[in-house]
Amino acid sequence: EAGVAQSPRYKIIEKRQSVAFWCNPISGHATLYWYQQILGQGPKLLIQFQNNGVVDDSQLPKDRFSAERLKGVDSTLKIQPAKLEDSAVYLCASSPSQGLNTEAFFGQGTRLTVV
């Protein structure tokens, strides 16, 4: 079974530039997550989709971050304009359903460096 695919693996941009990350979840997984992991910290949930609807985006900095999952499959996360503090690993994850007993499956992440 193919895992969660993310691209690119690495990205370096200057502050105030824009950047986009792509995620393709495991086939058939209805729930998709984007997490931000700053160096030395645990992952923090940015946004959660159930199919193509947003379940939770309470921690997404909406003035600069946006995410979409238009057809309920793959997803993109965009930052515009980027700030130095956005340097982090952006993790995408998916899970089969909203059942309490299911785990999340993670991609390898995109490491963003803002200079």
Partner 1 sequence: AQSVTQLDSHVSVSEGTPVLLRCNYSSSYSPSLFWYVQHPNKGLQLLLKYTSAATLVKGINGFEAEFKKSETSFHLTKPSAHMSDAAEYFCVVSAPGNQFYFGTGTSLTVIP
Residues sharing a CB contact under 8 Å with residue 20, sequence separation 6 or more, in sequence order = 76, 77, 78, 79
- Distance (Å, whole) CA 73 – CA 66: 17
Closest to partner 1 by CB, 81 or 87: 87
- Interaction of residue 113 with partner 1, rule CB under 8 A: no
- Interaction of residue 33 with partner 1, rule CB under 8 A: yes
Among the listed residues 15, 16, 44, 83, the single contact to partner 1 using CB under 8 A: 44
- Interaction of residue 25 with partner 1, rule CB under 8 A: no
Closest to partner 1 by CB, 14 or 56: 56
Q: What is the DSSP letter of 108?
A: -
